[in-house]
Amino acid sequence: MGVNAAPPTLQRHPQEPTRFTFETMEGRKEEENSMFETSHVLGAVLASSLPLTQAWSQCMRANAGGSSFTLERCDDAVYVAFSGVQTGVPVTHSLVPIGGGGHGLFSPLVGGEGNGGEPVLVHAAILHFFLALFHTNEFQMLAREIKNKAAIFTGHSIGGTLASLAALHFLCSSSSSTYPSPSTLLCITFGSPLLGNEALSRAVQRERWCGNFCHVVTRRDVVPRLLFCPLNLLPPQLVTHLLQPWQLLLQRPQVARPASVLSDQEEAHLHILISRHIDAAAAAAVEQEISDAAQRRSSYWPFGNYALCSGEGVVCFDDPLLVVRMLYSTFITGSASSSIEEEHLSYGDVLVKILENLLLKKRIAIEEAPESSFCAGISLALEASGIGIQDMGATKEARECLKMSKRMGRNPNLNSAGLAMKLAKITPWRAQIEWYKASCDDDMGYYDSFKLRKAPKKDSRTNMNRHRLAQFWDDLIDMLQSNQLPHDFNRRGKWVNAAHFYRLLVEPLDIAEYYRVQKHKKNGHYLIHGRERRHQVFEGWWRDRKKDSREGDNAKRSKFAGLTQDSCFWAKVEMAKEWLEDAGTESDPAKLPQLLESLKGFECYAKQMVERKEVSIDVLAPRSSYTLWVEEWKVLQLNLGLPMAP
């Protein structure tokens, strides 16, 4: 090698993989070898289950009847089938808030919209129809009939969407002891249009209700996919022609099904339009970018479990993004063997064919042996979904989608496990703040000691630990909001309790710092203008937990609480101090009564907290802000000649 030659470490051919890339590929391969794809197994179990075939039979019976729903007891379950022939439901695609009008029928879903989140929206016409149905005697009789029983709600086409909304109502009311609700509830729909937006999907995941919904969709049925496409882009005559013949056929399934009322050209146009918008919806969700295309796309989004059917089998998915991708991949594969009307009406025939094929399938219909059990499972899942090896483009995309979904599905749980380890590592910081609090309880309490910086060295260390803990919990909230943690993370007892303890211990220090640097003079009082968002979020977690467990606040304490149960107690003390100061100098006779009323309100609140022993002992320390306020309030009452509370 010449003296002017470049060092060999700087030479690298573009096609030569780096060591990092090689190790990454090896790690990914090892990860795949440890995973299994089970969507086709779940599909086989579902297809062979009695509730699925029984639900379809009930749908056919409801469609043929003249009422909005039918009710029938089969074995140990009550089947409630909503008819797909519903009059007065307009061809619309508008969305409205699920809690609009203040009816309170879906309170848990509405309750999770706080902190600036996207509101939960549902199909306007379906919600309007359900509210009208809810107030009928028939529906109230239905509620009494399914009380404390296993209920299966079902429906075909629009009836399925209505069944989903009714099931959501009963799940929302299950926390109420006064409203009749079933002991268990399952909703099975067939070819139903989408019900609501992505916020609804997240709310159902947050409440852990995904397992209560199973939406059965065939490979080329346009109805479950139609609302991905904005209806203003569909020619009105096309939609009219699409929907007209189904009403008669749903009511009379024995009538021979006619040929499609749409021409081949119209069907091709509809197929392309729907395919394009499903693909765009999935792409926009993945990129999470605000673009012109994303803004024009439909706001509808799937929720619950989806069972995608073909003559070859069934695959089940619960990840909404994967559902959208697979709805797209299955829709664009193969060629249409029947009209779009036939696809929407032949769920019974597909179920029969699936049961026959379950007994025949013994091997994977591919030429090369799979690299691992995971790859074999993916091949079986693709075959069951109807994506054949001849559909090379769709097969490759669907295969990569299934692999990515499996990896992404593991990440939230892995992140949660990682946070648990980090929580253990920050415990010493929290323990040092607890020690600091205990060392201040006998004098003026840790709130006033930290605010006045009576022990600079200890106060400085406590302040550093306060910032460290805040960073951990802020990062946790960011991870939750960016879907890096399980959707029910904020309902898990370990994290709800840990966040609650952190809020009770540290928020008084945040309040003390806020008033120490006199931010209240510039921004206003802490409660309105200074409270950190993490404390508001964690208070909501605790409130929801108490609501879910139906805990009461009437339990009597035998000793004072270790931490004051209202983490904003000291912020209210600071406001009361200002009112007291203003009342002592107020010369306007019109303003003084308002100040005195506010002071009496705080006095009553604080006394109740002390009597119930819901405050920490530091609140009653000899030189605490609260103790000094009580003495000054008594002096003002004597000076003004006010009657003193006992």
Q: What is the DSSP string of 61-121?
A: HHHHSSSSEEEEEETTEEEEEE-S--TT--S---EEETTTTS--TTHHHHHTTTTTPPPPE
Q: How far is CA 552 from CA 180, 207, 547, 548, in A?
A: 22, 21, 9, 11
456 φ/ψ angles, rounded to the nearest 5 degrees = -55, -40
* Residues 290, 295: Cα–Cα separation, whole Å: 7
For tokens 């693709």, name the residue.
382
SS3 197: strand
Catalytic residue among 93, 156, 169, 221: 221
User: What stretch of H or E contains 351?
Assistant: helix 347-358
First to last CA, the chain: 99
* Residues 113, 623: Cα–Cα separation, whole Å: 42
Q: Can you say how many angstroms the Cα of residue 627 is from the centroid of all Cα atoms in its chain?
A: 45
Q: What would the 3-class secondary structure string for 281-308 be?
A: HHHHHHHCCCCHHHHHCCCEECCCEEEE
Catalytic residue among 157, 181, 192, 260: 157
Catalytic residue among 40, 123, 169, 344: 344
SS3 content of the chain, % helix, strand, coil (to 5): 60, 10, 30
* Residues 644, 472: Cα–Cα separation, whole Å: 46
User: What stretch of H or E contains 151?
Assistant: strand 150-156
User: Is 344 a catalytic site residue?
Assistant: yes
If phi > 0 it is left, if psi is from -120 to 50 it is alpha, else beta; for residue 263 that is: beta
User: Is 582 a catalytic site residue?
Assistant: no
For tokens 């008594």, name the residue.
634
User: Is 123 a catalytic site residue?
Assistant: no
* Residues 216, 302: Cα–Cα separation, whole Å: 12
Q: What are the residues facing 133 on neighbouring strands? A: none
Which residues are tagged catalytic? Answer: 157, 221, 344
